[in-house]
């Protein structure tokens, strides 16, 4: 029986979302704009990379064709040869451009409700929420209490947080409450416990995630976030691909943020590296051990957290090229009957205004297990991904999405 590998390149959108204007993202195109910037030399940085965007393995699978189908423009730097894989793009139907919405829809259960959001005011959080968090967390107070970029807010308030013992609480355009605190001085386990309190307090507000953002360093010049981030998400809807696999007794390996995104429900063996490269290593390990009928679900988050939110085009381009290089290793490690699908959960155009996710189509590339190469078209929902994988693994059908020949 086939095994399935589902790889989510976090935030690697391919532009063109029909409802982008509703989200303030009209014109965003993560992959297309990175390719254009690199072709014009704006994607160069001597210490990272130079020249046109170079993604030969993804290009061979059909990524350039997927981008062109989504946007109507052929991206520079792509050979656009006859693809060796299945290619197309997905249209997110969930009411949000956040990580849980994208991943849950990829897993077959679109978000059919409205998330709660915090307003772009100062303070951003309701007074009752702030008071309860301070009281239950036994805090001297909180800092920031507004929309912000995670790296800049730590630079701005990190020294005061060290001095006062107050954690830094902030949000974004996503349905999220983020809490940053010094990993050693405040304490990692204390930060996690504070986030558990915040998770409970945020439930009535329909906030999708509470995120622990530990950092180290002594001054604004050397503060750095650590790999010990932890997401506290609301539970996913019933009927998702992971649940179906678990109910069928299939072995599942969840790599990277997948366990957090799905609230550790039906996520099987959870492993998490410190970087994309670490998580690819864990994927290669899983390919050695996963039994027939198994599901390996991977999130590679560096595109989003390290480069997209920081609006760093050369860094994002180099990250794409690094994954492309390792894709050859993944293909080599697969068995003849394995099926691999690569997609994304939303966009995060590093050339766009602000520092938030962007509402975009996402590429879909698939190969292996006798899947016929060629176009799969525009998929009306990301739930088609789950249904195609479910069919490949002989799992029950879900309530959303349709399959394509795979």
Question: What is this structure's pTM?
Answer: 0.92
Q: If DSSP codes are grouped into helix, strand and coil, which group holds residue 196? A: helix
How sure is the predictor about 96, in pLDDT bands with cuts at 50, 70 and 90?
A: confident
* pLDDT score for 26: 96
CB neighbour burial string for 309-331, b if at least 16 within 10 angstroms, e if fewer: bbbbbbbbbbbbbbbbebbeebe
For the domain spanning 4-111+237-392, the CATH number is 3.40.720.10
Phi and psi dihedrals of 222, rounded to 5? -125, 10
* DSSP count for the chain of H helices, then E strands: 13, 14
State the span(s) of the chain assigned CATH 3.40.720.10. Answer: 4-111+237-392
CATH superfamily of 127-233: Phosphopentomutase (3.30.70.1250)
The number of residues making up the chain comes to 406
Task: Return the ∠ at Cα 305 (arms to 303 and 310), rounded to 5°.
Answer: 95
% pLDDT > 70, the chain:
100
Residues 6 or more apart in contact with residue 387 via CB below 8 angstroms: 108, 397, 398, 400, 401, 402, 403
**Helix, strand or coil for residue 299?**
strand
Per-residue pLDDT reduced to its tens digit, 353-388: 988 999 999 999 999 988 899 999 999 999 999 999
**Terminal alpha carbon distance of the chain:** 14
SS (H, E, C) 94-149: CCCCCHHHHHHHHCCCCCCCCCCCCCCCCCCCCHHHHHHHHHHCCCCCCEEEEECC
Asked whether residue 406 carries a pLDDT value surpassing 80, the answer given is no
Distance CA 131, CA 137 (A): 10
Of residues 176, 281, 188, the one with CA closest to residue 228: 188
pLDDT value of residue 151 = 82
Distances, alpha carbon 297 to alpha carbons 319, 343, 393, in Å: 20, 11, 13
Residue-wise pLDDT for 4-63, tens only, equals 999 999 999 999 899 999 999 999 999 999 999 999 999 999 999 999 999 999 999 999
Quick check: bond before 20 cis, omega within 30? no
Query: How confident is the model over 235-273, as pLDDT tens digits?
Result: 999 999 999 999 999 999 999 999 999 999 999 999 999
Evaluate if residue 173 carries a pLDDT over 90.
no
Query: Within the chain, which residue ranges are assigned CATH 3.30.70.1250?
Result: 127-233
pLDDT tens-digit series, residues 326-356: 999 999 999 999 999 999 999 999 999 988 9
Buried b / exposed e along 381-400 (16+ C-beta atoms within 10 A) = bbbbbbbbbbbbbebeebeb
Measured in whole angstroms, the distance separating CA 316 from the mean position of its chain's CA atoms is: 14
How open is the CA angle 12-29-237, to the nearest 5 degrees? 50
Mean pLDDT of 200-221: 96
């Amino acid at each position: 029986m086939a095994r399935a590998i589902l790889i989510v390149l976090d935030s690697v959108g391919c532009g063109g979302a029909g409802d982008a204007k509703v989200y303030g993202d009209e014109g965003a195109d993560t992959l297309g704009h990175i390719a254009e910037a690199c072709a014009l030399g704006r994607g160069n940085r001597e210490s990272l990379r130079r020249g046109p965007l170079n993604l030969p393995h993804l290009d061979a699978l059909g990524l350039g064709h997927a981008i062109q189908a989504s946007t109507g423009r052929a991206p520079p730097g792509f050979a656009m040869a006859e693809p060796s894989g299945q290619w197309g793009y997905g249209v997110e139907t969930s009411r949000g451009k956040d990580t849980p919405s994208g991943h849950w829809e990829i897993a077959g259960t679109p978000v059919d409700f409205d998330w709660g959001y915090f307003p772009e005011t100062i303070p951003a959080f309701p007074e009752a929420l702030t008071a309860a968090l301070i009281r239950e967390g036994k805090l001297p107070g909180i800092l920031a209490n507004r929309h912000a970029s995670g790296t800049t807010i730590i630079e701005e308030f990190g020294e005061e947080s060290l001095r006062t013992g107050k954690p830094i609480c902030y949000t974004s355009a996503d349905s999220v409450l983020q809490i940053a605190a010094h990993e050693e001085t405040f304490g990692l386990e204390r930060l996690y416990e504070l986030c558990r309190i915040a998770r409970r307090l945020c439930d009535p507000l329909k906030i999708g995630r509470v995120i622990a953002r530990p950092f180290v360093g002594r001054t604004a010049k050397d503060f750095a976030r650590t790999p010990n981030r932890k997401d506290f998400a609301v539970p996913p809807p019933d009927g998702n691909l992971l649940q179906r696999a678990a109910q069928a007794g299939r072995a599942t390996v969840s790599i990277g943020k997948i366990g957090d995104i799905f609230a550790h429900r039906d996520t099987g063996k959870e492993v998490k590296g410190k970087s994309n490269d670490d998580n690819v290593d864990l994927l290669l390990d899983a390919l050695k051990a996963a039994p027939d009928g198994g599901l390996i679900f991977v999130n590679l988050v560096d595109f989003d957290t390290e480069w997209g939110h920081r609006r760093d085009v050369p860094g994002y381009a180099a990250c794409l090229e690094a994954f492309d290089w390792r894709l050859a290793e993944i293909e080599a490690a697969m068995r003849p009957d394995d099926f691999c699908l690569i997609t994304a959960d939303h966009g995060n155009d590093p050339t766009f205004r602000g520092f938030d996710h962007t509402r975009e189509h996402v590429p879909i590339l698939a190969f292996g297990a006798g899947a016929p190469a060629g176009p799969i078209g525009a998929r009306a929902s990301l739930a088609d991904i789950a249904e195609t994988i479910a069919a490949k693994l002989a799992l029950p059908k879900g309530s959303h999405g349709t399959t394509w020949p795979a």
